[in-house]
Structure 1
């Protein structure tokens, strides 16, 4: 159990980040093993749905944060959600896959959500 609202928020977001990594791995494996494009799309849509739902999932914890922290967290979660909704709206599998990954990303680095979690103060 978390000691503070901030720790609880980090725990919740970390849980979501792990789900996202798992979905990405499954999507990649689906392409490699069977080239099942429908399953690949479905897994990436699930990833985007998690990102789109971050503000709602985090709300009970964010509401307990100090005002300055709360505003910054809400803004960043909203950006994640808006990008995911945009990717789903245009139906771009590539866009859904690239959510959370900057152009200069290297395998093994933290993605944008994981970096955000590490930097929440």
Structure 2
């Protein structure tokens, strides 16, 4: 009993690791955590792997990433060049508008309110918008 009281007085709590299910002492009582750095790294790797597998299957996710990176790279290129501030701000505001519209349309595709083909076509058209 004395040992448990001392553990709880030091604000340590028994928990099971979310990944390997081993028993360990944690600093939080109610938040599920990992027992060590190895489990944390492995959990991050597994989560990334799950996300990548899921994203590979979805054409609109892949096209979204490509379009976003296209816009992002154009904006960064203009920031690094010594081109006019007017053109740079114009492209940056267009990028912000693209991001806002993209969130709405991507959500509509996820919810089934918009067909994937229409969304992908819109993304292709938006890549031409930055050239104006």
| Structure number with higher strand proportion | 2
| Structure number with higher helix proportion | 1
TM-score w.r.t. length of structure 2: 0.40
Q: Higher RCO, 1 or 2 (CA under 8 Å, sep at least 6)?
A: 1
**If you compute each CA radius of gyration, which structure gives the higher value, 1 or 2?**
2
